[in-house]
Structure 1
Amino acid sequence: MKTKIILDTDPGIDDAMAILFAEANPNVDLVALTTVFGNADIETSTRNALYLKQRFGMNCDVAKGVSKPLLRDPVGASTAVHGENGFGDIALDAPTIAADPRPAHQYIIDTVKAAPKEITLVAVGPLTNLAMAITQAPEIGDLVKEVVIMGGAFGTHDHTGNVTPFAEANVHDDPHAADIVFTADWPVTVIGLDVTHETFFSTDYIDTLRDTCGEVGEFMWDISRFYLDFYKSRMDVDGCFVHDPSAIAYVIDPSLFTLRKGPIRVVCDGPAEGLTIQKHKPTKHKTDEWAEKRPQQVAIAVNDQAVLDVYLDSMTQYGNRES
């Protein structure tokens, strides 16, 4: 049975790789893309989502989300990583289709209520849309199937942060929203840097996507040029970590990941702003800001080769179907 997902996203080069993965895999039913600021501003993110929908003939809805964090000052788009247009500055035709008229958080509320226990929310950008949805309609916590988050870093394998020494980008962009989402009364699984930094798309692997996956492979190769240049100049590696597609891999096959359970809190200000902390030991303390919060799941290990295999298989089948 297919898993129905709403993919909350800030496209974004690795977002595009995740969106196309969700569209390609036969076990996923991509119901909608809800957009958020992050890798690009909200207008660019929404334009990019509509572009993907139109170019690749996707049936999903697109709903435009928020343009700024709940409380903190915006940190600005990640143009150094994703380019000015979010897709590595390749030439893009303007989409001629429109987004759903509802704001993203309302689209999420309406869709979850219309299909109780059927919708998995997958968020691969800042968590502002999800925080607004659960705050305005707490009842959806009992109606959603699962919430899967690409974000955070919990120190496993020494992975602690990528935009500060102790913060991952999606959480750092809106830590207050992340704390709301992680502590809400709904089932959350976090696919953070602890596992996304353990899986790697090499340049050879991305060349294989280009050579075997038809138009969609060529598109991913094209947009990845800018992304790989960033990785090479910043980290001196030939390839990129598998961030957003790892969240889709979890939806497809949770057995690829080892999970740890416990409540999560987010540091919302100061030098450790965006730090994610999971209490995974059953210790008792006089003061404990975790004790009354719902235990959530954090991925701490991954079968990285299996993730690479399912991604390539999905995209190759999808590319061949197009041709």
Structure 2
Amino acid sequence: MTAATRRPGAPARDTEGVGRAACHHGEILQGVFLDQRRRPVHALVTLPMHGPGSTARFACRPGTPPEEVTVTPAGRTKARAAAVLAVRECAARRDAEPCGGELTLAGDLPVGLGMGSSTSDVIATVRAVADSWGVLLPAETIARLAVRAEGASDPLMHGSRPLLFAQREGRVLEVMGSALPPAVVVGCALAGGAPVDTLSLPALHHHDDDLAAYGHLRRMLRRAVTDADTALLGRVSTASARLRQRVLRHDEFPALTGIADATGAVGVQIAHSGNVAGLLFDPRAPGLHHGLRRCTRALEREGIAPTRTFTTFTSPSEESPWTNTSRKPSDART
């Protein structure tokens, strides 16, 4: 049943809505940047990855308190918080009493690797609640609810466009363009694919030199997107990853950059709060297939597990010829 066919007011008993959300493969750029009012703001640009993600189903239970939301599987506290917030938002838009319900989550994202698993859950949840109420929530509203539920959020609700997104405020600082430059990414898992507790990471105190460095990388990325310059994209992501080593120190980072140099990759990218990483290749470069094979073998020799190879230019409805899901981190969800 669609929003156009439902009557105003609360949803019918046991009305179920479905929501889905994609994931990302860590960040291309993350740091502190000046916003329109020249204030320093923490922000990031993610590397979208089509395919994996979260699916949420929300069944309304009219007449129950809005806080009475059960979640399966148990323990998804951020998604539950998002469901309660979304119920109140949708009820207000329908001029109706909010109610509780049952939330069921499913997905194939590894937890704690920095791929946006919690954000994917939260966005899918908000969309499922909205669907059950017959409400279409704009991306800006979903972002606001996601930040309230998580404390910080990735920009997955805005689609795959490259955005400089203030993750703690839920707002877009800049739309870089319509798409990242074309790249083939050889994904891998550092530290044996162990999850990272982001709350345990030390706070990074930025100085004026950091603002200047990240401002320069922001301009470089803007130019890379405008010119579809894959090599420049790789320079930006590598520089950002190197700066981030002050917070999340990856023992394999020197090996990763060495493999990139040896196999013709244009650079590396990492999850700035996790252990997923990737080596970026220009799909237009000669000898691409040979370089990809050499890269995979070199990673394995270093004890770094390759995970999947994907592109920045595959639409959600297309199957990439590079995709290889035969290897997945050991803590992937079921």
TM-score range, shorter chain: under 0.3
> Which structure's residues are more often strand, by fraction?
2
TM-score normalised by length of structure 1: 0.24
The structure in which a higher percent of residues are helix is: 1
Quick check: which has more Rg, 1 or 2? 2
Q: TM-score w.r.t. structure 2 length?
A: 0.23
